Amino acid sequence: MSLLDSSLWEVIKASFQPAIWAELIKPIGETLYMTAISSVIVLIFGFILGIFLTVTCPDGLVPVKAPYITAGWLINVLRSLPQMVMIILMVPVARLFFGKSYGTNACIIAIAASCIPMYARIVESTLLEIGKGKIEAAKSIGSTNLQIITKVILPETLPGLIRGFTVAVISVISMTALAGMFGAGGIGDIAVRFGYQRFQHDRLFACVYILVILVQLTQGIGNFISNRILKTRNLI
């Protein structure tokens, strides 16, 4: 059903038809798969890169100017690229790993590459919020740099890191929808092929509902975990 020949209310009612939702089961699974794998990759590499930036910055535990500037410059370059451009640039890399430049697995590389720099900066800014007095106190009792990172900085900033990762996962969800335009499958593929190209706006609306639900659930889970940690520490 299209908005071109039907009212908005009729299209909204049609978007809840069981037949439409039955067709979306597989795309929902593909979207969840891309989101889960991409989020894990973003968490691992973004977290490591964020810690590296924090430790090597001019005020860090091990200030190293050249690597810090190089890593920061590279992250800024990647963050300046629009998501669609990133997907196009990652085509050769996807073909190298999977033998093809389309499909769910191939687009995971582009999704992760687009979101890792953002999460790295979130991790860096979160870790830098810790008071210098706590770090100095840890140094005064003979703590090593590794102990300061694992027992002082990370535990103190854990709620902020969780909130930052929540933002990164939501960006991944958004990216999976865009990746549907490049043969990744998932909800984005249905929204583009049917909702946009064939003017089947009832299916488009159903895809929007699913994306909104995924984002709300992700944000809710992230807030819940973060608040639980803060309550445990009697900070809220």
For residue 91, name the pLDDT band (cuts at 50, 70, 90).
confident
- Is residue 30 one of the residues assigned to a domain? yes
Q: What is the pLDDT of residues 132-169, one digit of tens each?
A: 788 888 888 888 888 888 888 888 889 999 999 999 99
Which has the higher per-residue pLDDT, 21 or 3?
21
Q: Which of 81, 151, 67, 145 is nearest to 116 (CA)?
A: 81
Name the band, by pLDDT with cuts 50, 70 and 90, for residue 5. confident
* Residue 55, in any domain of the structure: yes
Q: Is residue 182 predicted with pLDDT exceeding 90?
A: no
Q: What is the pLDDT of residue 180?
A: 75
For residue 1, is it within any domain? no
* Residues 211, 166 contacting (CB under 8 angstroms): no
CA distance 31 to 219: 17
Spatial CA neighbour of 104 closest among 190, 181, 191, 184: 184
Residue 2 lies in a domain: no
- Give the residue numbers spanning the domain of 117: 8-232
Q: How many domains in the chain?
A: 1
Residue 22 within a domain: yes
pLDDT number for residue 101: 66
The domain that holds 103 is classified in CATH as: 1.10.3720.10
Residue 3: inside a domain = no
The 10 Å Cβ neighbour count of residue 142 is 7
In percent, how much of the chain has pLDDT > 70?
A: 97
Nearest to residue 51, comparing CAs of 185, 150, 177, 151? Answer: 150
In-domain check, residue 78: yes
Residue 185 neighbours by CB under 8 Å, 6+ apart = 27, 30, 103, 104
Residue 29 located in a structural domain:
yes
- Average of per-residue pLDDT values in the chain: 86
